[in-house]
């Protein structure tokens, strides 16, 4: 039954000679168009072959077991039962597909558009999690975005000295800034903080013991475990103390001839509260100086400003760690710094120089895009009084609930003009999170818009929002989809209204 339709499909050569195909070849290139055309034609042929001819009207239908059903025409001859009736309209599935060249060219364009569309694309973050790891963590500032654009499309002064014309360290673009902002003698950069930790331990303590509190053997996102990092770096883990309490004497008793370093690790995304104690970095640094052992402070998120200004608990300050005597400290460049993904290493010159010379430093180094954005981001911290105006992370941290309520009310009012009356919109109190392991047990008061639709369950509405262009990510709570305006950027309110209106109107 499918052969007549299959014979109507134009050949690949004939299809490529049509006017529409010529336009596609000019836009996408012949190789891409040929591959797409083959895929479209093959899909079409498979679809036609899968179609089954419908049973003649009046024919006996099989039961679930495959045997003919009971004869409900007792008293009639078999001929009467099987006699044909007037033909009825064929079901939609049996209608012949459109195999015209114009339609096929349109399918080829659609195929190419889907294939070549970027999978990494902008999204609207309405979750209320400021540093959302799944959504790319930090929102770069406009100066950082400009710096990226300025070096992305051409050559740059990445590793050449302008005066001598000779190669020089790429660290120079950010080292001076890191020294000024942290008080460290020297600095270098890796492609993330995990790499920075591996690089430091491999340089200072390969084949030797690294003493660390049992309560700091953390696992963070992506099954990143500190004991595994130790193994990868070539260092030997020497854990001391207990989960909730580690004393300075525990470190003292563990130090010996085979000790390579003392390591303090930021707890990141968990806290031990109650009956808990561990030495501060000052005590560990003093012990390290006394015993001639370098002290490493893995600060995790790392902070250049005190979060108390934003009503949050203090995260470890990099400057405080260096001032306390840590030989080397490392922290993320894309968390509380709010720059591109990177791992920043600061400390005493002798150790930083050894880290730079480690062969792994080349494997973990950053490229021009990271350094350009990082340099621009670090410069924002030179003017801390302007930080909430110029840095997206700190602008979001500083937003007041009355500002957020105003935006939520405006969005609700705009939606009420277009949505069915059955859709329920409410503006409620909510809680935002910093995210990415920073101040994990604290939240910021916020205002949220909740949406409930009788025709569209919350899970389905959330799914359709994620599939929208651009994708919109929100939370679900008590069968409602919740939109936190703290993380919705100021120019995205209209996008949110458009996405919700389109989806909810379609659902009735």
Considering the domain architecture, whether residues 415 and 379 belong to the same structural domain is answered as no
Among candidate residues 443, 444, 403, the one with its CA nearest the CA of residue 427? 403
pLDDT at 79: 36
Q: How many domains does the chain have?
A: 3
Considering the domain architecture, whether residues 28 and 104 belong to the same structural domain is answered as yes
* Dist. CA 396–CA 434, nearest whole Å: 9
Q: Which tokens sit at 117?
A: 């569309």
Q: What is the CATH number of the domain that holds 359?
A: 3.40.640.10
122 lies in some domain: no
62 lies in some domain: no
* Dist. CA 119–CA 255, nearest whole Å: 50
Considering the domain architecture, whether residues 344 and 409 belong to the same structural domain is answered as no
Q: Which tokens sit at 260?
A: 């390579």
Considering the domain architecture, whether residues 197 and 346 belong to the same structural domain is answered as yes
226 lies in some domain: yes
299 lies in some domain: yes
Domain boundary among 340, 365, 386: 386
Find out whether 254 and 240 touch, Cβ atoms under 8 Å. yes
pLDDT at 467: 94
Q: Which residue has the tokens 């007037």?
A: 86
168 lies in some domain: yes
Among candidate residues 55, 56, 58, the one with its CA nearest the CA of residue 80? 58
Considering the domain architecture, whether residues 492 and 366 belong to the same structural domain is answered as no
Exposure class string for 20-50: b at 16+ Cβ within 10 A, else e: bbeebeeebeeebbbbbbeebbeebeeebee
What is 315-357 written as a DSSP string? PPBHHHHHHHT-SEEEEESSSTT-SSS-EEEEE-HHHHHHHHH
* Dist. CA 88–CA 298, nearest whole Å: 76
Which residues span the domain enclosing 107? 1-54+96-117
* Dist. CA 316–CA 310, nearest whole Å: 15
What separation in angstroms does the CA of 110 have from each of 15, 26, 469?
Answer: 16, 16, 16
Considering the domain architecture, whether residues 414 and 331 belong to the same structural domain is answered as no
Give the predicted TM-score (pTM) of the model.
0.85
Considering the domain architecture, whether residues 428 and 375 belong to the same structural domain is answered as no
* Dist. CA 188–CA 211, nearest whole Å: 24
Find out whether 316 and 267 touch, Cβ atoms under 8 Å. no
End-to-end CA distance of the chain: 40
> Which residues does residue 238 pair with via DSSP β-bridges, in sequence order?
211
- Three-point CA angle 326, 329, 335, nearest 5°: 145
* Dist. CA 283–CA 267, nearest whole Å: 18
Q: Which residue has the tokens 């840095």?
A: 391
84 lies in some domain: no
Find out whether 417 and 504 touch, Cβ atoms under 8 Å. no
- pLDDT tens over the chain, length 508 residues: 567 778 889 899 999 998 899 999 999 999 999 999 999 999 999 888 887 554 444 444 444 334 444 444 333 433 333 334 444 444 444 456 888 889 999 999 999 999 999 999 999 999 999 999 999 998 999 999 999 999 999 999 999 999 999 999 999 999 999 999 999 999 999 999 999 999 999 999 999 999 999 988 877 666 678 888 888 999 999 999 988 899 999 999 999 999 999 999 988 766 777 787 889 999 999 999 999 999 999 998 889 999 999 988 888 899 999 999 999 999 999 999 999 999 999 999 999 999 999 999 999 999 999 999 999 999 999 999 999 999 999 999 999 999 999 999 999 999 999 998 899 999 999 999 998 777 777 899 999 999 999 999 999 999 999 999 999 999 999 999 999 999 999 999 999 999 999 999 887 6
């Amino acid at each position: 039954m499918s052969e007549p339709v299959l014979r109507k499909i134009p050949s690949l050569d004939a299809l490529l000679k049509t006017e529409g195909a010529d336009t596609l070849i000019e836009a996408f290139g012949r190789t891409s168009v040929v591959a797409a055309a083959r895929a479209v034609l093959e899909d079409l042929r498979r679809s036609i072959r899968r179609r089954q001819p419908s049973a003649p009207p009046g024919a006996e239908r099989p039961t679930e077991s495959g045997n003919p059903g009971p004869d409900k025409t007792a008293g009639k001859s078999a001929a009467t039962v099987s006699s044909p009736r007037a033909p009825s309209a064929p079901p939609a599935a049996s209608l012949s597909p459109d195999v015209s060249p114009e339609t096929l060219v349109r399918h080829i364009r659609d195929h190419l558009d889907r294939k070549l569309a970027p999978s990494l694309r902008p999204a609207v973050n309405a979750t209320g999690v400021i540093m959302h790891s799944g959504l790319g963590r930090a929102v770069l500032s406009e100066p950082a975005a400009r710096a990226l654009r300025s070096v992305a499309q051409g050559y740059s002064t990445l590793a050449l000295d302008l005066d001598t014309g000779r190669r020089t360290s790429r660290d120079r673009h950010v080292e001076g800034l890191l020294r000024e902002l942290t008080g460290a003698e020297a600095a270098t950069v890796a492609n993330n903080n995990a790499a920075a930790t591996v690089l430091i331990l491999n340089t200072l303590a390969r084949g030797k013991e690294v003493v660390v509190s049992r309560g700091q053997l953390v696992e963070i996102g992506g099954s990143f475990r500190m004991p595994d990092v130790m193994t990868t770096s070539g260092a030997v883990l020497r854990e001391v103390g207990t989960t909730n309490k580690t004393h300075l004497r525990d470190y003292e008793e563990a130090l010996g001839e085979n000790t390579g370093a003392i390591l303090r690790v930021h707890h990141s995304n968990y806290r031990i509260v109650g009956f808990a104690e561990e030495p501060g970095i000052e005590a560990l640094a003093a012990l390290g100086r006394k015993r001639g052992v370098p002290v490493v402070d893995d600060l995790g998120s790392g902070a250049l400003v005190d979060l108390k200004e934003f009503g949050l608990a203090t995260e470890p300050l990099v400057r405080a760690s260096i001032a306390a005597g840590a030989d080397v400290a490392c922290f993320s460049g894309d968390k509380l710094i709010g720059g591109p993904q990177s791992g920043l290493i600061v400390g005493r010159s002798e150790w930083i120089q050894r880290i730079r010379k480690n062969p792994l430093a080349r494997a973990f180094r950053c490229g021009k895009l990271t350094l350009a954005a990082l340099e621009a981001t670090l410069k924002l911290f030179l003017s801390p009084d302007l930080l909430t105006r110029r840095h997206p992370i700190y602008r979001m941290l500083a937003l007041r609930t009355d500002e957020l309520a105003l935006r939520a009310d405006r969005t609700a009012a705009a939606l009420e003009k277009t949505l069915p009356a059955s859709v329920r919109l409410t503006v409620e109190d909510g809680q935002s999170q910093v995210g990415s392991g920073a101040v994990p047990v604290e939240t910021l008061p916020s205002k949220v818009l909740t949406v409930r639709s009788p025709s569209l369950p919350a899970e389905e509405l959330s799914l359709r929002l994620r599939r929208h262009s651009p994708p919109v990510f929100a939370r679900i709570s008590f069968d409602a989809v919740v939109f936190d305006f703290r993380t919705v950027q100021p120019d995205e309110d209209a996008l949110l209204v458009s996405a919700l209106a389109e989806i909810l109107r379609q659902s009735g």
